[in-house]
A and B are shown apart, each in its own frame.
Chain A
Amino acid sequence: MNYADEFRDPVAARGVLAAIARVTDEIGATREKPVHIMEICGGHTHAIFRYGLDKLTPPGLEFIHGPGCPVCVLPMSRIDECVEIAERPGVIMTTFGDAMRVPGHRKSLIQAKADGADIRMVYSPLDALELARRHPDREVVFFGLGFETTTPSTALTILQAAADGQTNFSVFCNHITVPPPIKALLDDPHMILDGFVGPGHVSMVIGVRPYDFIARDYGKPIVVAGFEPLDLLQSVLMVLEQIRDGRAEVENQYSRVVPDDGNPVSIAACAEVYAPRPSFEWRGLGEIDASGLCIRPAYAAWDAEVKFGVGYGKGPRAVAEPDGCRCGDVMTGRIKPHACPQFGTGCTPEMPLGALMVSSEGACAAYYQYGGLRLEAAL
């Protein structure tokens, strides 16, 4: 028992898949008139393609790949600002590997590194703090990005730095939150979604109640899901059953990891360190109210935006995304990735144009690398 392999058992999957087919049928969904379920989280998108799950579910069930890939939705201007900080003399910029290839207007971090900036990949913000300890003569900046899952780790690291008086460490904070973009999607008059698979690791921190509005105000079912393939399939089944029964509830499939109220230590650390920004820009979706976090003034000494005078409200912002990019339409489910005119030609994982081609958690990159049309032709 390790609480992962059991949830990858292909034999057990047959039962869930059969039930998914049955319930899809009972709903009356067909290839022509499918039921649309959005998996919000990029980790789920990745798992769907990684295990080929979309090829195993019935044609009446269509996955819409949501905005929950923090790297994909990072706006170009934030990359520009990160590069600007990284290129200051004496700075060591630390980042998760995920962000290295995200294009900015000028360059990506990987290009900035080639041009001489000291940019290092880390596994944990704690490793960035350790680097600051080892290099007291340098300014170590951590490129903080991610949803609620990752938000507490950065907060706890800032609290640690504050406790240690480690003043050559700071965070360039790009943390964002899941509920606001979901609300934005639901407010879209062209919205076609019938239900949601919710991000389990986000809920591990914030609990399941922040999704209440989805069921209560919009009448859509949401099931908080784990990340193993059986978790994902079971959650899809639970969403379908709600749709069939005419229910709209917040259910928790991932109860082995997600307490309904989340993690109190994480929540407290985040409340201590962060305040909501009035709005934050999402690549492909635009500015969304109260969707981003900044570091509170009490911790300004560890806020790279304050320390380096770079960031929101500190200069003109070029928010325009590249011409012809239809990431927004893909994210809202209006078109499939390969229906975008740039897909595979003007926009590839080697030279991503739009957000969703950047990380393998992005729908377009997943389509391009793992399957989509080429796989359909192959199978």
Chain B
Amino acid sequence: MNQRLRPPRRVVADRVTLAHGGGGKAMRDLIEDVFTSVFAPPGMEDQARLMHPSLLEPGAQLAFTTDSFVVSPMEFPGGDIGTIAVCGTVNDLAVGGARPLWLSAAFIIEEGVEIATLRRIARSMQTAAEVAGVRIVTGDTKVVGRGSGDGVFVTTAGVGVIPPGRDLLAGKVRPGDVALVNGVLGDHGAAILAARGDMALTTDVVSDCQPLNLLIEAVLAAAPDVRCARDATRGGLASALNEIADAAGVGVVIAEADLPLRPEVKGVCEILGLDPLYLANEGTLVLFVPPDQAAAALAAMRGTAAGRGACSIGQATASHPGTVVMKTVFGGGRIVDMLVGEQLPRIC
């Protein structure tokens, strides 16, 4: 811990230049001032050396995941690229039943990015990490020339431990299982669309980005036979449900009337001809529970910060395996398919 003995190094520039990627003093100052002073990793070696008692439990499994984050704009109502870089990887671990412990964070920074922006991103990451109870223990920075990136790209990898006996798998969903979500759908997608500005819409909707690991722990304590959980990120709820239906060989029926949606999100969707089922979320999950544990799971979710708006949206069926059907508010039905490519506004 000898770096504690000298005064912390400071970045003097306002913006990132190629010098900050050159491996010299400028880079060292950037890393120390902007990142490690905030993340406070356990050491400054090129690797983090880690131990946790839960790894020693017989039957425990290590869970390891990685995800890259690109979002435009980098900062948006409800969070920034740093928030989703932490929440996304924490949630990828958590929906598999792992207790997230450590993250790495690698940054590809475009020349010209303001140092102040980087500081805000780093602080968002640390805040989200503290909420989730994980540590950012190692990382990397690279700088690319102007035009070779789009602000900042962040890659996080995460390590967690799956306690003995826990086995959340999409393939375990059985007909009759109830589908639950933890809250309103599509807030992230709608907030980003508005924040991007190219459709000149404004709303007060903020991104839902939040860690879900505490919620999942609470649900598993109350409803130990939860079959699986999926965070409904890119492709929205529709994609998550289709993946589960496909993996488990079951049908899924959801009720349009039961889908939790903010009026503003509905509004954005109607104006732009979008389907909220395909809007991205960054802190919303769907889980399948045996019917006799659904009430307990729901109550447990509602007792957590991320699950106050939890509700049941449908169930798995033996009929139409691999297909998701939505009962419309009119009693009609329609298939909810996987998204074809990217969802584009349908206006004229």
Contacts and interface: CB of A to CB of B under 8 A. Distances in A.
Contacts of B323: 374, 378
Contacts, number: 105
B62 interface: no
B272 interface: yes
A121 B342 CA distance: 13
A155 to B, nearest CB: 14
A53 B340 contact: no
B344 A55 contact: no
B340 A350 contact: yes
B328 interface: yes
A379 B325 contact: yes
Contact of A52 (B199, B271, B319, B334): B334
Nearest to A124: B200
Interface in B317-348: 319-320, 323, 325, 327-335, 337, 340-341, 344-348
A107 B112 CA distance: 35
A53 B332 contact: yes
Contacts of A375: 325, 333-335
A55 B333 contact: yes
Given A124-B200, A375-B325, A378-B251, A52 B333 contact: yes
Contact of B198 (A96, A110, A120): A120
30 contacts: A10-B331, A50-B334, A51-B330, A51-B332, A52-B327, A55-B333, A56-B330, A96-B347, A97-B344, A97-B345, A98-B345, A101-B344, A121-B199, A121-B345, A122-B198, A122-B199, A123-B199, A123-B200, A123-B347, A145-B348, A350-B341, A369-B337, A370-B334, A371-B335, A374-B323, A375-B333, A375-B335, A378-B325, A378-B335, A379-B325
A349 interface: yes
A96 B345 contact: yes
Contact of B345 (A13, A123, A146): A123
Interface string A115-149: 00000111110010000000000000000011001
Contacts of B347: 96-98, 123
A203 interface: no
A110 B345 CA distance: 13
Given A96-B345, A97-B347, A145-B348, A371 B334 contact: yes
B340 A349 contact: yes
B19 interface: no
Q: Which of B201, B319, B320, B344 is most buried by chain A, counting CB atoms within 10 A of its CB?
A: B344
B332 A55 contact: yes
A8 interface: yes
Interface residues on A, range: 35 or more
Nearest to B347: A96
Interface string A142-162: 000110011000000000000
Contacts of B325: 375, 378-379
Of the listed residues B323, B333, B337, B341, the one surrounded by the most CB atoms of chain A closer than 10 A to its CB is B333
A38 interface: no
- Give 6 nearest A-B pairs by CB, closest first: A52-B332, A97-B345, A97-B344, A378-B320, A146-B348, A370-B334
Interface string A98-116: 1011000000001000000
Contact of B335 (A100, A122, A361, A370): A370
A229 interface: yes
> Interface residue tally of chain B, by bracket?
20 to 34
A45 interface: no
- Majority secondary structure, B binding face: loop
Which of A96, A120, A378 has the most B CB atoms < 10 Å from its CB? Answer: A378
A374 B330 contact: no
Given A145-B348, A349-B340, A51 B320 contact: no
Nearest to A71: B348
Interface in A323-379: 349-350, 359-361, 369-371, 374-375, 377-379
A371 B200 CA distance: 34
A299 to B, nearest CB: 21
Contact of A8 (B200, B329, B332, B346): B329
A282 B196 CA distance: 35
Given A96-B348, A123-B345, A378-B251, A50 B328 contact: yes
Nearest to B344: A97
Given A370-B334, A375-B335, A378-B319, A70 B341 contact: no
Contacts of B331: 10, 52, 56
A49 interface: yes
Given A13-B330, A229-B330, A379-B333, A98 B319 contact: no
B318 to A, nearest CB: 12
Given A98-B344, A101-B341, A123-B199, A10 B334 contact: no
Nearest to A4: B270
A120 B331 CA distance: 38
Contacts of B199: 121-123, 127
Given A122-B199, A369-B335, A375-B335, A53 B348 contact: no
Contacts of A49: 334
Interface in B79-131: none
A10 B330 contact: yes
* Most chain A C-beta atoms within 10 Å of own C-beta, residue among B319, B332, B337, B348: B348
Contacts of A96: 345-348
Given A51-B328, A145-B348, A377-B320, A123 B334 contact: no
A50 B348 CA distance: 17
Contacts of A10: 329-331
B96 to A, nearest CB: 29
Contacts of A124: 200
A377 B329 CA distance: 21
A369 B331 CA distance: 18
